[in-house]
Structure 1
Amino acid sequence: MLKGKQSNQLWKQWDAKAQKEGIHKTVYFAHGDEYSGDWKNNKKSGKGTQRRKDGTVYDGDWKDDKRHGFGTLAMRLKSEKFDQYRKLYAGGWKNDKRHGYGTNYYREDQYYEGEWYEDKRSGWGRMYYSDGSIYEGEWFNDKRNGQGMHRLSNDNRYEGSWKDDKKHGSGKFFYLDKGQVYQGTWIDDVPKCGSLEGFDEERASNPPEFPIPVCTLADRESVLQEGVSQVLSEDT
Structure 2
Amino acid sequence: MPFLKKPQTTEPLVKVWDKKAQKCGLHRTIYSVNGDQYRGEWWDNKKHGKGMQVWKQAGIIFDGDWSFGKRNGFGLLAKFDPEKKEYVRAYAGYWKNDKKEGAGTYFYSPSGIYEGHWSKDQRAGWGRMEYENGDVYEGQWLEDNHHGQGVLFLANGNRYVGMWREGKKNGRGKFLFLDRGQLYEGFWVDGVAKCGTLSDSEREAAPSPTIYPIPEVCLLDPRSVLMEAQSYLTENDEKSTIAS
Q: TM-score range by the shorter chain?
A: over 0.9
Corresponding residue for residue 23 of structure 1: 26
SS at match of 1:107: coil
Displacement of 1:6 in angstroms is 4.9
SS at match of 1:8: coil
Counting only pairs closer than 5 Å after superposition, residues 198-213 of structure 1 correspond to structure 2 as 198-213=200-215
1:103 aligns with 2:105: yes
Corresponding residue for residue 93 of structure 2: 91
CA distance in 2, matches of 1:136, 1:10: 62
Corresponding residue for residue 62 of structure 1: 66
1:123-181: per-residue Cα shift (whole Å, max 9, x none)?
00001101100000000111110000000011100000000000000000001111111
Task: Give the number of equivalent residue pairs.
Answer: 232
User: For residue 46 of structure 1, what is the amino acid of its counterpart?
Assistant: G
1:132 pairs with one of 122, 128, 134: 134
User: For residue 69 of structure 1, what is the amino acid of its counterpart?
Assistant: G
Over the matched positions of the two proteins, sequence identity in percent amounts to 48
CA distance in 1, matches of 2:217, 2:211: 18
Corresponding residue for residue 156 of structure 1: 158
Displacement of 1:29 in angstroms is 1.7
Long gaps (5+) in structure 2: 1-5, 240-244
User: What TM-score, normalized by structure 1, do the two folds share?
Assistant: 0.93
Corresponding residue for residue 71 of structure 1: 75
- Distance change (3 Å), C-alpha of 1:139 and 1:79: closer
1:214 pairs with one of 204, 213, 216: 216
1:35 pairs with one of 20, 35, 38: 38
Displacement of 1:202 in angstroms is 1.8
CA distance in 2, matches of 1:77, 1:166: 32
User: For residue 73 of structure 1, what is the amino acid of its counterpart?
Assistant: L
CA distance in 1, matches of 2:154, 2:82: 35
Long gaps (5+) in structure 1: none
CA distance in 1, matches of 2:7, 2:87: 54
1:45 pairs with one of 44, 48, 54: 48
User: What TM-score, normalized by structure 2, do the two folds share?
Assistant: 0.90
CA distance in 2, matches of 1:174, 1:210: 18
